[in-house]
């Protein structure tokens, strides 16, 4: 009897946590539109703890789109370190990424990776989208 080997599954964009934008597009993926942010008065993040200063123009890989929650001030927990989350002070949307090709609104990194056997990444991205492979342009 011949053993059937499972077909390798190609990895898609969720591997990189690609997110299409939600309004407001201009601040998508920044702390100011993340529900873990405690707001501009406190400048903390619920999961980074009270000792890490986080401003509205930071971002990290654990972004959760939503309305900031000032009521969480004083209840922050240091569940992740900035190194673990990839905390960064930068505008992290595709429009500011070195892999973004503005004319075709495509991601050259996704195109390049999809030439190999392991990835099947849709290279069409939104200028205000983002992913965890963002890199400063
Ligand atoms: S540091 Fe990350 S989890 Fe915290 S508010 Fe900013 S994007 Fe959200
Ligand atoms: S352009 Fe940059 S941020 Fe956008 S999907 Fe590609 S690597 Fe990610």
- What separation in Å is there between the alpha carbon of 23 and the centre of ligand 1? 17
Q: Which residue from 11, 99, 108 has its CB within 8 A of the most atoms of ligand 2, so it is best to mutate?
A: 99
Q: What is the pLDDT of residue 34?
A: 98
Q: Which atom of ligand 1 is nearest to the CA of 48?
A: 4
How many angstroms separate the CA atoms of 36 and 68, rounded?
A: 6
Determine contact, residues 13/121, Cβ cutoff 8 Å. Answer: yes
The response to whether residue 128 sits with its C-beta less than 6 Å from ligand 1 reads no
Three-class SS state of 124: strand
CATH class for the domain made up of 7-28+92-137? few secondary structures
Residue-level pLDDT at 99: 98
Domain ranges of the chain: 7-28+92-137, 30-90
Lookup: tokens for 93:
């949307």
Per-residue pLDDT of the chain (137 residues; tens, 9 = 90+): 677 777 778 999 999 999 999 999 999 999 999 999 999 999 999 999 999 999 999 999 999 999 999 999 999 999 999 999 999 999 999 999 999 999 999 999 999 999 988 999 999 999 999 999 999 98
φ, ψ for residue 52, nearest 5 deg: -100, 120
End-to-end C-alpha distance for the chain, whole angstroms:
55
Q: Please report the pLDDT score of residue 30 as a whole number.
A: 98
The answer to whether the CB of 30 falls within 8 A of the CB of 21 is: no
| Omega cis (within 30) before 20 | no
**Model's pTM, two decimal places?**
0.92
The pick from 17, 28, 31, 92 for probing ligand 1's pocket by mutation, whose C-beta has the most ligand atoms within 8 angstroms, reads 31
Which ligand is the nearest neighbour of the Cα of 59? 1
């Amino acid at each position: 009897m011949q053993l059937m080997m499972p077909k390798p599954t190609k990895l898609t964009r969720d591997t990189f946590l690609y997110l299409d934008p939600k309004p407001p597009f201009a601040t998508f993926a920044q702390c100011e539109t993340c529900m873990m942010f405690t707001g501009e008065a406190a400048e903390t993040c619920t999961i980074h703890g009270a000792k890490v200063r986080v401003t509205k123009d930071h971002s990290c890989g654990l972004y959760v789109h939503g309305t900031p929650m000032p009521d969480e001030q004083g209840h922050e927990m240091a569940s992740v370190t900035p190194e673990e989350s990839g905390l960064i002070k930068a505008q992290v949307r595709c429009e500011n990424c070195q892999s973004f090709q503005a004319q075709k609104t495509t991601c050259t990194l996704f195109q390049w990776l999809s030439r190999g056997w392991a990835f099947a990444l849709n290279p069409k991205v939104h200028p205000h989208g983002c992913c965890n492979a963002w890199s400063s342009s």
